Amino acid sequence: MSNFTYASYTSYREDPFFGGFMRFQYNGAGGTITDPTNGSALRPEMRNDDTFQVTESFTLYPDPDDPSIEVALTYVGTIEVNGELMPVFESIFFGDLYLFSQTAAPLPQALDVTTINEGEEFSFAMCFAEGTRIATPSGEMAVETLAPGDMVLTADGRAVPVLWVGIQTLRRGFAHEDRSPIKIAAGALGGGLPLRDLVVTADHGMILDGVIVTAGALVNGDTIRPVAREALPPRYRVWHIETEAHEVLLAEGAPTESFVCYTGRAGYDNFDGYMALFGVERMIPEMRLPRIAAARMLPPALRARLSGCVAQMENRAA
């Protein structure tokens, strides 16, 4: 399992008198489930990839001011609540159920456990879709054509070498609309960007107004929306570019992040090739910008600017 950012979580406890699971605790502080290489309390037998699987577990620290309070959880499956697909974990000692939301949307008072998709994996890859054009000193190149040693351009005009290009095969069966790749229409981010339609995974970060915003948090149902499940092939590939540091690259002209240790590499198809090159997984500190993973956390000025882009595009289309 790799890193997973959530905006809130809600726990449910079984009612001993009336039965059923009732809401027990809500925590809207948000946080990140991190992998062992980042120093968290995950069990060592867990896979460091971009997918939750049954039997994977971790320790949740619900009170950031008191690290002595901890809850041991194990992954159960997925559930759809109010249109959002969420991973479900069970408390190892008390049997409470924990739902982790990336939007902090209100959750019901009672949980219908019959709607839990037990055993279903939950994928949260962070990559570019095939054909995405990346800026290089010699012009734009499709991400799948890049190789270690090629040079790419950063948003501030520097040329930096590619150290590795991660390739991951995803399955449509796990691409619920809430976790589908996100299509950002040309011009949807303002300033004519992206130059062409851009497709990235939901957790991939775009750099906007001095913050990193995951693509899923930008969805507006109009110019930025999930790729329809029926439009995805049964299996499809995504790519990520690793450079020496966590950089701001240009994808279809739009500022976006390079690979960072926010996710691990073991879930990539060519992980063995990476280990052959480097021997161990490199640690890459995240750039010093706030990361936003929920629409409700968008700064008001950015929200207003993006809404203005929608209006402008609608006017041009009229």
Q: Is the pLDDT of residue 110 over 70?
A: yes
pLDDT for 243: 98
As annotated, the residues of the chain forming the CATH 2.170.16.10 domain(s) are 128-317
**Model confidence over 71-92: pLDDT tens digits?**
888 889 888 776 667 889 999 8
- 77: Cβ–Cβ under 8 A, 6 or more apart, which residues? 54, 87, 88, 116, 117, 118, 119, 120, 122
Q: What is the pLDDT of residue 29?
A: 66
Q: Which residues of 122-145 are buried (b: 16+ CB within 10 A; e: fewer)?
A: bbbbbbbbeebbbbbeeebbebbe
Specify the pLDDT at position 48: 47
- Tell me: the pLDDT tens digits for 173-188? 544 455 678 999 999 9
For residues 263-283, give the mean pLDDT.
Answer: 87
What pLDDT score does 267 carry? 77
Q: How confident is the model at residue 260 (pLDDT cuts 50, 70, 90)?
A: confident
Give residue 51's pLDDT band: very low, low, confident or very high (50, 70, 90).
Answer: low
Multiple choice CATH, 128-317, 3.40.50.300, 2.170.16.10, 3.40.605.10, 3.30.160.270: 2.170.16.10
Place of tokens 């929200």: 303
Looking at residue 5, its pLDDT comes to 65
Is the pLDDT assigned to residue 44 strictly greater than 50? no
* pLDDT tens readout for residues 137-170: 999 999 999 999 999 999 999 999 999 999 988 8
Which of these, 98, 101, 80, 78, lies nearest to 8 by C-alpha position? 101
Average pLDDT over residues 12-18: 84
What's the pLDDT at 175? Answer: 47
Average pLDDT over residues 31-43: 44
Q: pLDDT band for 38, please (50, 70, 90 cuts).
A: very low
Percent of the chain with pLDDT over 70: 83
pLDDT of residue 25: 79
Cβ neighbours of residue 56 closer than 8 Å, sequence gap 6 or more: 1, 43, 46, 47, 74, 75
pTM (whole model) above 0.75: no
**Mean per-residue pLDDT over the chain, rounded:** 83
The answer to whether the beta carbons of residues 277 and 166 sit under 8 Å apart is no
- Looking at residue 277, its pLDDT comes to 93
Tell me if 134 sits within 8 A of 257, measured CB to CB: no
Give dist(CA 130, CA 200) in Å, integer. Answer: 9
227 vs 132: which has the higher pLDDT: 132
Q: What percent of the chain clears pLDDT 90, i.e. is strictly above it? A: 41
* pLDDT tens, position by position, 204-237: 999 999 999 999 899 998 999 988 877 777 778 8
Band (31; pLDDT cuts 50, 70, 90): low
- Residue 204: the pLDDT is 92
Which of 75-84, 267-276, 282-291 shows the lowest mean pLDDT across its residues? 75-84
292 against 38, higher pLDDT: 292
Residue 28 is predicted with a pLDDT of: 66
In whole angstroms, what is the distance from residue 227 CA to residue 207 CA? 21
What is the average pLDDT across 183-202? 94
Exposure of 235 by Cβ count < 10 A (0-12 exposed, 13-18 middle, 19+ buried)?
A: exposed
| Whole-number pLDDT of residue 232 | 77
